[in-house]
Amino acid sequence: MAATTTIEQQQRDDLLRTIDADIAGLTDVMVQGGVAELRRRIIDRTQLDSATAPSAAYFLSDNTGRRIAGNIARMPAIDADHSQSSILHADGDPMIVRATRLRGGLTLVVGRSLASSARLIERLQTVIFFVAVPAILASMAAAAVVAARFGDRITVLNNVFTRFDHGERLARVGLNRSRDDLTALAGNVNSHLDRIDELLVAQREISDNIAHELRTPLVHLDTRLIRALELSVDNRMTSELEHARQDIRSIVSLFDSLLDIALAEATSNIDEKAQFFDLSELAANLAELYAASAEEASLDFSTRIAPGIMMRGEPMGITRLIANLLDNAFKYAPYGSRVRMTISEGPRIMVEDNGPGIAKSDRDRIFSRFQRVGESGGGHGLGLALVRIIAARHGLWSVYEDAEPGARFVICIAGEA
């Protein structure tokens, strides 16, 4: 184990420091008293040590390799010129030894037994096995329980953000009675979502008021342009008036879309009192209307509608949702492209094409207002925003997928994209 390995290494490092101190002392003895004094000191130390299980090892040889003193029979296979250390496995306990070269070509080897270190490691392993391991297992079990609870609460927070992002503006985190940091975080999340919802309401009211205030004068202006066209005899003037009417109709269309979005957002979510309607029949009727437009645009339009799909909600809202998806596909699909609409259980509504698709950098914002990913077909970038709002009111998610090639828009129950 890592703990015992670290302790064993520390024990060896301590023994090496003891050996180095011993070598330094013996080296000083040789300097002061010569080889004879060094030999005598080594003999004294080996005699004091146990003969059966020596704790210290010594070896002193001359420049020919002949042993002069010590309790090691022969020179270990280590490099004395570089003061190398090694583990020596003799007849007794293993020892850690270091060799060094002295003046005159003498070789000195000093070692210390590893038996005490081994006994310490054995005792430590016993303690770990009978005490630490159960404690660690208990701690891991407790940590797993805490982590699971922590993970569940984090998942709840993430789900609330995801639901809010998909249009559920009333999505909030349920608060418990605990006073921990996650409960405080959940309270802050709810406060910030409330603030964001207030800002969205203010934005909706501004858009609604602007649309109401400006739409009527523009309609009156369009009526006056019609009268001017009836009186005009100048072809150039007539052409300019027609262009002006087109601009006015585009602005009125923008205001109509903003009013539709404001109305959809102001209406509460679909509840259990709403009536069931046949989604399959609604989609089939809508497909018949778009078939002629597809033929005119040279698009291969097909459907795969499962029969008898019932859903609770507003038929007009779902009609607008599907129509916006089809309009979007028809607008951006090139000449000769394939467009397919699929209705299946769930309910699950899917419209896909094999056109250019949507770049990765644009996919996160396509359901936002005034976001267009291409210039073909014009538009104000509000169609998909209305799709998301209507879907969210019916408890559904709006998801974009890469059709490889092309774009695929899926309206489905949360998590089933």
What is the per-residue pLDDT across 208-263, written as a single tens digit (0 to 9) for each? 677 667 667 777 777 887 888 777 777 888 888 787 777 777 776 666 666 666 66
Q: Tell me if 40 sits within 8 A of 58, measured CB to CB.
A: no
Q: Tell me if 15 sits within 8 A of 117, measured CB to CB.
A: yes
Q: Tell me if 108 sits within 8 A of 60, measured CB to CB.
A: yes
Q: 127-156: b or e for each residue (b if 16 or more CB lie within 10 Å)?
A: eeeeeeeeeeeeeeeeeeeeeeeeeebeee
Query: What whole-number distance in Å separates Cα of residue 109 and Cα of residue 56?
Result: 11
Tally of domains in the chain: 3
Q: Looking at the structure, tell me whether residues 287 and 388 fall in a common domain.
A: yes
159 in a structural domain: no
Domain boundary residue among 63, 92, 119?
119
Burial class from Cβ neighbours inside 10 Å (0-12, 13-18, 19+) for residue 112 reads buried
- The whole-number pLDDT of residue 33 equals 87
Q: Which long-range contacts (CB under 8 A, 24 or more apart) does 87-94 make?
A: 87/114, 88/57, 90/57, 92/52, 92/53, 92/54, 93/53, 93/118, 94/118
308 in a structural domain: yes
Q: What is the mean pLDDT of the chain?
A: 80
How far are the Cα atoms of 152, 169, 267, 392 from residue 160, in angstroms, in the given order? Answer: 12, 10, 21, 14
328 has a pLDDT exceeding 80: yes
What is the per-residue pLDDT across 261-320, written as a single tens digit (0 to 9) for each? 666 666 656 666 678 899 999 999 999 998 988 888 889 999 999 999 999 888 888 998
- The whole-number pLDDT of residue 185 equals 83
- Residue 292 sits in a domain whose CATH number is 3.30.565.10
192 in a structural domain: no
- Range of the structural domain that residue 51 is part of: 2-119
What is the per-residue pLDDT across 168-199, written as a single tens digit (0 to 9) for each? 767 788 777 777 777 888 888 888 888 887 77
375 has a pLDDT exceeding 60: no
Q: Looking at the structure, tell me whether residues 383 and 317 fall in a common domain.
A: yes
Average pLDDT over residues 10-17: 84
Which run of H or of E encompasses 259?
helix 235-266
pTM exceeds 0.85: no
Higher-scoring residue by pLDDT: 410, 1: 410
Q: CA geometry: angle at 59 spanning 57 and 64, to 5°? A: 165
Give me the phi and psi of 173, to 5 degrees please: -90, 130
Q: Looking at the structure, tell me whether residues 290 and 258 fall in a common domain.
A: no
Q: Among 389, 400, 326, 392, which residue's Cα sits nearest to residue 361?
A: 400
Q: pLDDT band for position 326 (50/70/90)?
A: very high
207 in a structural domain: yes
Q: Looking at the structure, tell me whether residues 256 and 324 fall in a common domain.
A: no
